[in-house]
């Protein structure tokens, strides 16, 4: 069985208090980093800027996005698919509001455990990476 790949750009958004923003798409249960699919004509950071504005009404300066790396995990909502994410770190101090397919937003402590159901990419890859490499240096 072959696994299909979904290329996305995702953000580890940090608020002024150090918490990170997670989103839950309409009709799903798992929380994840905001972001979305990279269109054929886009660079990953351009896709991220577009998705953040569409999903959260958040305008970012792409030059402020720090590329953390490319990470993969099973897709949370598409069985048989793997998500390959270009992940960017951004500090924000602006209000966000769920829009488009986003039903709910939640700020969590990225250094702690969460009672939320997390997407594999978030819970098994991005947050552990952040705890291991960024908490002391980012």
Q: Tell me the sheet residues that pair with 37.
A: 8
| Domains identified in the chain and CATH numbers | 4-134 (3.90.79.10)
Instruction: Encode pLDDT of 51-103 as tens digits.
Output: 999 999 999 999 999 999 999 999 998 989 999 999 999 999 999 999 989 99
Closest CA to 106 of 49, 32, 27, 12: 32
Q: Full-prediction pTM beyond 0.85?
A: yes
Instruction: Encode pLDDT of 7-60 as tens digits.
Output: 999 999 999 999 999 999 999 999 999 999 999 999 999 999 999 999 999 999
In contact, 24 and 103? CB cutoff 8 Å? yes
* Element at 4 (helix H, strand E): strand 4-14
Q: Which residues are within 8 A (CB) of 39 and not within 5 positions of it... i.e. 6 or more apart?
A: 47
pLDDT score for 136: 63
Structure tokens at 83: 């998500």
């Amino acid at each position: 069985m072959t696994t299909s790949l979904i290329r996305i750009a995702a953000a580890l958004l940090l608020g002024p208090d150090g918490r990170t923003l997670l989103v839950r798409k309409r009709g799903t249960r798992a929380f994840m980093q905001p972001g979305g699919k990279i269109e054929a004509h886009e660079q990953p950071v351009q896709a991220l800027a577009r998705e953040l504005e569409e999903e959260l009404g958040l305008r970012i300066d792409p030059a402020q996005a720090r590329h953390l790396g490319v990470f993969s995990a099973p897709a949370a909502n598409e069985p048989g698919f793997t998500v390959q994410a270009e992940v960017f770190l951004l500090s924000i101090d602006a209000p966000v509001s769920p829009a488009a397919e986003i039903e709910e937003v939640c700020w969590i402590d990225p250094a702690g455990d969460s009672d939320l159901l997390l997407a594999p990419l978030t819970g098994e890859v991005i947050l552990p990476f952040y705890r291991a490499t960024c908490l002391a240096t980012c």
